[in-house]
Structure 1
Amino acid sequence: MQPIKEMMRVVDNVRDGDFHQKVHVLSNDELGDLGDGMNEMTEGLIERDQMRQSLYLAKEVQQALLPRAVPNIKGLDIASTSVYCDETGGDYYDFFISDKPDASRISVVIGDVSGHGISSALLMTTARAFLRQRSAQPGKISAVVSDVNRLLCHDVADSGGFMTLFYLDIDRQNRKLHWVRAGHDPAVFYDPRAATIEELRGSGMAMGIDADHAYEQYSKEDLAPGQIVLLGTDGIWEAQNPRGHMFGKDTIYRIIRQYSDTDAKGLLTACLYALDKFRDGVKPEDDVTLVVIKITP
């Protein structure tokens, strides 16, 4: 019975989180085979624990790279969130603001990297660095996205990785929106004056595919208080309920109309609440990122 006691000792220690225990059984019978199997199991648990710790660290680093707070800018009410479905995610968003005291422009970017896990997290981190560096330099946002795409193509060559992006620039002084769409879902624009909803569309392939692709800039004039811009990733409208039905963009449109009188945070909360209720316990298969911008007086 001594070998069995030895195995129970190791099992108790492993249960308490000590994966470095070994079974010392010298027999060549079935108990010996069982002891060898337990030792292989604990080695596998060590590797899994190390991987779990690595993923946790990667998640901490990646979350730290997302905005810690929304910018406080006169004339704009902003709310945002990003929820990953795995330890690490491929969704990304950021705000770029000039450090000049009289700056009247703010850029908002949202992106979705292909895949999940460490590789997508690394690509997201690389894209963030490129975007921040290039956005701090002069030039139209179409040039910014084209330059970053060229860098990404060189970085992801032969890996198959790519990233969709929506780059929005808000010019408060001239009451204009400018945007570039790089394969990402269009932003949603709501105008309360006529209760109309439109998508901010435009051509442009995902980044990281064609280094020579020239992106186009699109514009919209006559910004007015009460108007809403919503940027999101497909983890929202492609979310499914237990019956396999998708949440859909029409649901988002209804929520925008219903909560258009609330602030940006209230609208964002309403979207997330409706999404959670719709899922009805179904585990999300994709990250969810949402940015709500409301034009204020």
Structure 2
Amino acid sequence: GGDYYDFIPADYDPIGKENEGENPPSLIQNLKSKIDKGRWSIVIGDVMGKGVPAGLLMTMTRGMLRAEVLNRHSPARILQHLNRVMHADLENSHRFVTLFYSEYDPKTRVLSYSNAAHHPPLLWQAATNTILGLDTLEGMLIGLDPDSHYQEAQVQLQPGDTIIYYTDGFTDAANQRGDRFDEDNLTAAFQWACQNYQQSEEILDYLFDQVQQFIGIGNRNADDMTLVVLRVTPLTGENQHDS
């Protein structure tokens, strides 16, 4: 389908220059060291349309985006470059791509992001039990205008804070009466899950269950549904880890 999500080690050194010497580490060792100490790119996107054409365009988007990440530009610059490179192919196919690109640094707990007209992820702040949308003021669809500009923003996360990235298959899911699950139901279900579950996988499973109950057991949603959950969880003392 046309849905896309990805996790990319943003600090990955593909040629191992930082580790040159008589006994350079293997590719696996180099990658693992980067994953253990570095930043991660977390991405979600959606190609307009369904079927094989949308799937092929999303595969192309994935490859080009991963190449851009290796250049270590800012999130806004990555989307700007991606838009320019893909504009001709998307225009010829009469399709566009929505894409939310973010980078998370587990050491500082700072999430940097830029948005190309995708549904803004929802952030639940544990300290205040409030939910915010993560969006930018500027950022058009990928493929709409080759000269589009994208903005960048940052948010400081705290232990317990949780983010969901999602595609419109969630909010557009409809029951037998034609009612949509919509953003309000998703927000309410997300807030309840954050208050009652500790693990990111539990939150994800709960949200999928709520959508399925809404559309009716045994009924199938016509569109793909994609969901990514990021939760910052405390360990002991000052140490933190992220799931």
- 1:96 maps to a residue whose letter is I
Identity between Structure 1 and Structure 2 (%):
34
Contact 2:12–2:70 under 8 Å retained in 1: no
Contact 2:164–2:227 under 8 Å retained in 1: yes
Structure 2 residue corresponding to 1:200, chosen from 120, 134, 159 = 134
Tell me the equivalent position of 2:122: 188
Kindly provide the CA deviation profile for residues 86-115 of structure 1, in whole angstroms up to 9, marking residues without a partner as x: xxx100010111336253311100000011
- 2:133 maps to a residue whose letter is E
- 2:142 maps to a residue whose letter is M
How far apart, in 1, do the equivalents of 2:66 and 2:106 lie?
A: 21
Tell me the equivalent position of 2:2: 90
Kindly provide the CA deviation profile for residues 233-290 of structure 1, in whole angstroms up to 9, marking residues without a partner as x: 0100111001111112222222222221320000000001111111114432211000
Alignment partner of 1:107 is 2:107? no
How far apart, in 2, do the equivalents of 1:205 and 1:265 lie?
A: 31
How far apart, in 1, do the equivalents of 2:54 and 2:92 lie?
A: 15
Q: How does 1:52-131 map to 2 (within 5 A)?
A: 89-97=1-9, 98-99=11-12, 101=33, 103-131=37-65
How far apart, in 2, do the equivalents of 1:224 and 1:157 lie?
A: 41
Tell me the equivalent position of 1:66: none
- 1:157 maps to a residue whose letter is E
Give the 4+ runs in structure 1 shifted more than 3 A. Answer: none
Question: For 1:258, what is the secondary structure of its paired residue?
Answer: helix
Tell me the equivalent position of 2:211: 275
How far apart, in 2, do the equivalents of 1:234 and 1:156 lie?
A: 20
Query: Displacement of 1:169 after TM fit?
Result: 1.2
Query: Displacement of 1:195 after TM fit?
Result: 0.3
How far apart, in 1, do the equivalents of 2:222 and 2:62 lie?
A: 23
Q: TM-score, normalised by structure 2?
A: 0.82
Alignment partner of 1:286 is 2:198? no
Structure 1 residue corresponding to 2:104, chosen from 151, 170, 191 = 170
How far apart, in 2, do the equivalents of 1:240 and 1:215 lie?
A: 32
Q: How does 1:105-254 map to 2 (within 5 A)?
A: 105-202=39-136, 203-221=138-156, 223-254=157-188
Alignment partner of 1:262 is 2:198? yes
Question: For 2:207, what is the secondary structure of its paired residue?
Answer: helix
CA RMSD of aligned residues (A): 1.4
Runs (5+) with no aligned partner, structure 2: 14-32, 235-243
Pairs aligned (count) = 208
Kindly provide the CA deviation profile for residues 175-210 of structure 1, in whole angstroms up to 9, marking residues without a partner as x: 211111101000100011110001001121110111
- Structure label with greater radius of gyration: 1
Query: Displacement of 1:147 after TM fit?
Result: 0.5
How far apart, in 2, do the equivalents of 1:256 and 1:236 lie?
A: 12
Runs (5+) with no aligned partner, structure 1: 1-88
Question: For 1:288, what is the secondary structure of its paired residue?
Answer: coil
Q: TM-score, normalised by structure 1?
A: 0.67
